[in-house]
Structure 1
Amino acid sequence: MGKNNQLQDIQVKQAKPTKETYYLFDGLGLYLEVTPNNAKIWKFRYTYNGKRKKTSFQSYPKVSLKQARKKRDNYNELLFDGIDPIEYYKEQKELKQIEDTSSFKNIFTQWLEMEKSKSGLAQYQWKKTRIENDILPFIGNKKIKDIKIQDVTNVLIEKNKTAPVTASKLFGYLKSIYSYAKTKGYIEINLLSDINKTHIISSSQVISYPKITEKENLKDLVNSIYNYQGFYSVKNALKLVLHLPLRAGNLCNLQWSNIDFDNKLLIISRDEMKVKDKNFDDFRMPLTDEVINILNEQKSYTGYQKFIFLGTNNRTPINVESPNKALKIMGFDDEVNGRKITLHGFRGTFRSLIDTLDIDSNFSFETKERALDHHEKSKVVRAYTHKSDYINQLIPLMNFWSDYILSLKN
Structure 2
Amino acid sequence: MGSKVWEVRYTINGKTTKTTIGTYPKVTLANARKIKDQYKTTAMEGLNPTHLKKQVKLEQEQDIQGQFHLVVYDWLKMLKLAPITLNKKTRNFERDVFPFFCKYDAHQNIVFSTHIKDITHGQVFEIIKAKENTSIDTARRLLNDCNDIWLYAINRGLININIIANISRKGLAKYEVTHHPKITDESILQELILAIEAYPSQLTRYALKFLLLNPYRAMNLTTLKWEYVDLEKGIITIPRNEMKIKNKNFSDFILPLSTQTVRLMKEIYKLTGWGTWVFHGKNETVPMNKETCNRALERMRFNDEDAGRRQRTHSFRGTFRSLAETYERQHGVSEASREACLDHHEQDVKKRAYTHRADYTAQMKILMQWWADFIDNL
Q: TM-score, normalised by structure 2?
A: 0.70
Matched, 1:390 2:359: no
Q: Identify if the C-alpha distance between structure 1 residues 224 and 163 changes in structure 2 by more than 3 Å, giving closer, same or farther.
A: farther
How far is 1:298 from its partner? Answer: 6.3
The equivalent residue for 1:284 is: 255
Structure-1-length-normalised TM-score: 0.66
- Write the distance in 2 (CA, Å) between the matches of 1:235 and 1:105: 43
Aligned to 2:268: 297
* Deviates most, 182-191 or 95-104: 182-191
Q: How does 1:242-257 map to 2 (within 5 A)?
A: 242-248=212-218, 250-257=220-227
Letter in 2 for 1:327: N
Gaps of 5+ in 1: 1-36
Aligned with 2:290: secondary structure? helix
Letter in 1 for 2:75: W
* In 2: Cα distance, 1:364 partner to 1:287 partner: 17
User: Which residue is equivalent to 1:350?
Assistant: 320
* 1:178 shift after superposition: 0.5
Match of 1:93 in 2: 57
1:211 to 182, 191, 212: 182
Whether contact under 8 Å (2:213, 2:368) holds in the other structure is: no
The counterpart of 2:38, out of the listed 47, 68, 74, is: 74
Structure 1: how far apart are the matches of 2:9 and 2:261? 79
1:371 aligns with 341
**Alignment partner for residue 149 of structure 1, among 118, 121, 127?**
121
Q: Give the percent of matched residue pairs that are identical in Structure 1 and Structure 2.
A: 30
Residue 194 of structure 1 is matched in structure 2 by 166
**Over aligned residue pairs, what C-alpha RMSD do you find?**
4.6
Query: Which residue number corresponds to residue 290 of structure 2?
Result: 323
Gap change, CA 1:128 and 1:316, over 3 Å in 2: farther
Go from structure 1 to structure 2 and tell me whether the alpha carbon gap of 1:105 and 1:254 turns closer, same or farther (over 3 Å shift): farther
Q: Does 1:241 align with 2:211?
A: yes
Match for 1:195: what amino acid?
I
Q: 1:299 to 1:125 in 2, by over 3 A?
A: farther
Aligned CA distance change for structure 1 residues 325 and 315 (closer, same or farther; 3 Å):
closer
Provide the rounded CA distance (Å) in 2 between the counterparts of 1:241 and 1:59.
70
Structure 2 residue runs without a partner (length 5+) = 103-112
Distance in 2 of aligned mates of 1:83 and 1:368: 68
Q: Distance in 1 between matches of 2:144 and 2:371?
A: 37
1-structure distance, mates of 2:307, 2:9:
83
Per-residue deviation, 1:177: 1.0
Tell me which residue corresponds to 2:229.
259
Q: Structure 1: which amino acid aligns with 2:169?
A: K
Correspondent of 1:131 among 63, 78, 89:
89
Deviation readout 1:323-344 (Å, 9 max, x if unpaired): 1487369758876676766544
Displacement of 1:133 after TM fit?
2.6
In 2, Cα distance between equivalents of 1:221 and 1:200: 46
Instruction: Look up the SS of the partner of 2:331 in the other structure.
Output: coil
Q: Is the 8 A contact 1:264 1:287 kept in 2?
A: yes
C-alpha spacing 1:223/1:325, structure 2 compared with 1 (3 Å): closer
TM-aligned CA distance change 1:158 to 1:282, over 3 Å = same
Q: Tell me the distance in 2 between the aligned counterparts of 1:235 and 1:81.
A: 80
Name the CA shift for 1:84/1:282 in 2 (closer, same or farther; >3 Å): same
Which whole-Å CA distance do the structure 2 matches of 1:352 and 1:287 have between them? 19
Contact 2:225 2:278 in 1 (8 A): yes
Provide the C-alpha distance between the structure 1 equivalents of 2:324 and 2:223, rounded to a whole number of angstroms. 26
Distance 2:62 2:284 in 1: 35
Q: Deviations over 1:262-298 (max 9, x none)?
A: 1332234678764969798963321454565457636
C-alpha spacing 1:164/1:345, structure 2 compared with 1 (3 Å)? farther
- Alpha-carbon separation, structure 2, partners of 1:314 and 1:52: 70
1:286 corresponds to which letter in structure 2? L
Q: Is the 8 A contact 1:284 1:391 kept in 2?
A: yes
Q: Between Structure 1 and Structure 2, whose CA radius of gyration is higher?
A: 1
Q: Specify the SS of the correspondent of 1:323.
A: coil
Q: Is 1:362–2:330 an aligned residue pair?
A: yes
Tell me which residue corresponds to 1:10.
none
Residue number in structure 1 paired with 2:16: 52
8 Å contact 1:111–1:177 — kept in the other structure? yes
Distance 2:342 2:132 in 1: 27
